[in-house]
Amino acid sequence: MTQDTVISVRDLVVGFGSRTVLDRVTFDVRRGEVFGFVGGSGSGKSVLLRTIIGLIPSRAGSIEVLGTRLDTATREERQRVERHWGILFQQGALFSSLTVLQNVQFPMVEYLDLPQRLMDEMAAAKLEMVGLRKADHNKMPSELSGGMTKRVALARALALDPALVFLDEPTSGLDPIAAGDFDALIKTLQQTLGLTVFMITHDLESLNTICDRVGALADGRVVATGSVASMLDCEHPWVRSYFRGRRATALNSRLANSES
Amino acid sequence: MGSPPSLIARPGADGIEFAAGGAWTVVQARDLDGLIDEAVRNTPAGKPVTVDLHQLTALDTYGAWLIERLVRAREALTGSVRVVGLPERYQSLFEQIRRTEHDGAVPPPSITPLKERIAWLGEQTVRFGHELLSFAAMLGAVVLALGRAIRNPRTFRLTPTLHHLDRVGWQAVPIMLLITFLIGCIIAQQGFFHFRKFGADAYVVDMVGILVVREIGVLIIAIMMAGRSGSAYTAELGSMKMREEIDALRTMGRDPVEVLILPRIVALVIALPMLAFLGSLAALYGGGLVAWFYGGMSPAIYIERLREAISLTHFEVGMIKAPFMALVIGIVACTQGLAVQGSAESLGRETTASVVKSIFLVIVLDGLFAVFFAAVDM
């Protein structure tokens, strides 16, 4: 693993019972890029993400994140790595009994020993960075809209200034405008903070606008990796129908028009 | 991660110059917080300030914010602060932080303690009223739904009712029998132990019989049901409420009371008297065993004495109470379930409230029945 590789997955096998969900998955994510993973519903994208972050045990293969072999790491080594990543869950996974501000402060309270004033300031700064109004800082998660929940979850993922952020379908459940805004937000933050972003998505528009590289998951394997443009040349049937299907064609032609 | 941070103040060409060096990141945030506060405190006001960032080796939002805090504090004093030498790669990060316009978090509105206490008292009173009201509303809704079901039996949901009857009735039998059996044993043992001093052994059977059939049997079962099934009802309905399942049901034109609540309450009203009956038997059986082995009273005499002690009236008193207690438990459990808000904590709170309230109400109801039965000579 070189300096520039943040995530390195080799021959990863994951299964439940007699079913193998991921079969020898191999890919790399480089420092400072936005890497998007696509795949049909039920293709194991979320399983892949949950395996990398250690929520699901793997059967074989290696996972290396930020220079640490996670599949063989001790508890302490693992915690050291966990401190440097942030995760945005699909449904936000905000703690329902804490306010928005407390949710963002939670990782700070857990990992750092900071004065309350600084934590208040930083949490407010993070929330402002993700575009949440001040009036919403003391709300409970159940009082937030879907878009706001995602923003707060992103602020919480960024609370410790991680080097690496995992996003599980960041734009799902958002309207196209909100999804576009959220994409732009991710891109801005990624550039500003120098993040590496690993995201799982269904959203062709996100892939086109913010991902530097894309991996496609089908039949439990990575069938293609490369830029979005290179995906168009891939001959795998699923990749072809995804990137050259009706919705994709419409989108691509629109993009082509706007560029010309 | 990186070299230790430093912030050195020195007299510059014009005013004071702060030279920041080392890594200014989240890891050093605690030290940096102290450095910045010290710098703000110890430098005299009224002089122009320059912040030199040439020596920075690393910067993240924490470091950037702390520098910004220094800048803002000085700006408030002198109005002239310059930041120089910011490495190119941190330019946009620093700009982003500079744009934030907050001065810390918004504190939640503060109230004076006394005022808070009085407000709390008022809120609790109002809430108590609301709770009574929602209890009555739920009772009314259930009665209405039952009326509709009686008028038009096809709308009654038999399958879920049987399913719940299985859960709260049949599956509860072993534990209920065990507990009432033990209670019966304990009452008999204590009775023999104390009555023996007065030579009143024979009256232990009267005590066990009347106590179990009239009061303890049904009361213990009702309390157990509140803990076992009432809490389950609240948690189920509460998580359905949280996940908008109840709203979904309503939008499909189905009344949640009719679909979810009526079957549950009917099951409870059927199950509780049955369990109370079985429980009373188990308690009498336990009492009999203790009488035989501990009190030295043969089973034949025990049964004979029981026959004299318990009349049908005692049995009726116990059984009449059972369905009412079931109704109270069911109504409370379902009301609390629908009161659950979005958070996990509220689910826990309502479940606790459900159990506590239904046990309390069961005991109050038992007292009212005692008064009533005394008045009608039962």
Report the percent of chain B where pLDDT is more than 90: 51
Is residue B360 pLDDT above 60, yes or no? yes
Is residue B356 pLDDT above 90, yes or no? yes
In order, the DSSP letters of B266-317 are HHHHHHHHHHHHHHHHHHHHHHHHHHHHTS---HHHHHHHHHHH--HHHHHH
Angle value at C-alpha B271, between B266 and B275, nearest 5 degrees: 160
Is residue B250 pLDDT above 70, yes or no? yes
Instruction: For chain A, give the mean pLDDT.
Output: 80
pLDDT reported for residue B161: 93
Is residue B220 pLDDT above 90, yes or no? yes
pLDDT reported for residue B273: 94
Is residue B115 pLDDT above 60, yes or no? yes
pLDDT reported for residue B103: 55
Q: How confident is the model at residue B232 (pLDDT cuts 50, 70, 90)?
A: very high
- The first and second tokens of residue B177, run together, are 């029998």
Q: How far apart are the CA of B338 and the nearest CA of chain A, in angstroms?
A: 16
Is residue A20 pLDDT above 90, yes or no? no
Of A2-6, A204-208, B128-132, give the range with the top mean pLDDT.
B128-132
- The first and second tokens of residue B242, run together, are 């949280």
Poorest-pLDDT segment among A166-170, B43-47, B143-147:
B43-47
Is residue B165 pLDDT above 90, yes or no? yes
Name which of B30, B92, B342 is nearest A140 (Cβ-Cβ). Answer: B342
Is residue B192 pLDDT above 70, yes or no? yes
Q: Which of A98, A111, A118 would best serve as a mutation to test chain B binding (most B beta carbons within 10 A)?
A: A118
Report the percent of chain A where pLDDT is more than 90: 0
CATH number of B6-98: 3.30.750.24
Poorest-pLDDT segment among B98-107, B229-238, B271-280:
B98-107
Side-chain-side CA neighbours of B149 within 13 Å: the count stands at: 18
Query: Are A125 and B65 contacting, i.e. CB atoms less than 8 angstroms apart?
Result: yes
- Mean pLDDT across the stretch B216-222? 93
Name which of A97, A134, A193 is nearest B106 (Cβ-Cβ). Answer: A134
pTM greater than 0.90: no
List CB contacts (< 8 A) between A135 and chain B.
106
pLDDT: which is higher, A62 or B288: B288
pLDDT reported for residue A1: 46
Is residue A259 pLDDT above 60, yes or no? no
Q: How confident is the model at residue B231 (pLDDT cuts 50, 70, 90)?
A: very high
Binary contact (A128, B100; C-beta < 8 A): yes
Is residue B223 pLDDT above 70, yes or no? yes
pLDDT reported for residue A124: 84
Q: How confident is the model at residue A254 (pLDDT cuts 50, 70, 90)?
A: low
Is residue A183 pLDDT above 50, yes or no? yes
List CB contacts (< 8 A) between B89 and chain A.
194
List CB contacts (< 8 A) between A118 and chain B.
29, 33, 62, 66
Query: Are B221 and B275 contacting, i.e. CB atoms less than 8 angstroms apart?
Result: yes
CA-nearest of B299, B365, B298 to B330 is B365
Binary contact (B106, A115; C-beta < 8 A): no
Q: In what order do the strands lie in the sheet with B81-84?
A: B6-11, B16-24, B49-59, B81-84
ipTM of the complex: 0.71
pLDDT reported for residue B17: 78
Binary contact (A113, B105; C-beta < 8 A): no
DSSP H or E segment with residue A19: strand A19-30
Poorest-pLDDT segment among A179-193, A202-216, B73-87:
B73-87
- The first and second tokens of residue A152, run together, are 């707060």
Poorest-pLDDT segment among A194-203, B89-98, B317-326, B335-344:
B89-98
Mark out chain B residues that contact chain A at CB-CB < 8 A: 25-26, 29-30, 33, 60-62, 65-66, 69, 89, 92-93, 96-97, 100-102, 104-106, 108, 341-345
User: What sign results for the dihedral spanned by CA atoms A104, A106, A109, A115?
Assistant: positive
d(C-alpha B263, C-alpha B275), whole Å: 18
Side-chain-side CA neighbours of B317 within 13 Å: the count stands at: 29
DSSP H or E segment with residue B8: strand B6-11
Query: Are B225 and B168 contacting, i.e. CB atoms less than 8 angstroms apart?
Result: yes
List CB contacts (< 8 A) between A161 and chain B.
25-26, 60-62
Count other Cβ atoms within 10 Å, centred on residue B123: 10
- The first and second tokens of residue B190, run together, are 């204590």
Of B87-96, B165-174, B198-207, give the range with the top mean pLDDT.
B165-174
Is residue B287 pLDDT above 50, yes or no? yes
Binary contact (B30, A114; C-beta < 8 A): yes
Poorest-pLDDT segment among A62-66, A81-85, A184-188, A249-253:
A249-253
Domain range annotation of chain B:
6-98, 121-375
What are the residue ranges of helices labelled H in chain B?
Answer: 29-42, 61-77, 91-99, 113-151, 158-168, 173-195, 203-210, 217-225, 231-242, 245-251, 256, 262-293, 299-309, 312-338, 344-375
pLDDT reported for residue B261: 93
Of A137-141, B64-68, B299-303, give the range with the top mean pLDDT.
B299-303
Poorest-pLDDT segment among A70-74, A95-99, B106-110:
B106-110
- Mean pLDDT across the stretch A181-206? 81
Of A17-21, A31-35, B263-267, give the range with the top mean pLDDT.
B263-267
Q: How far apart are the CA of B80 and the nearest CA of chain A, in angstroms?
A: 23
- Mean pLDDT across the stretch B162-182? 95
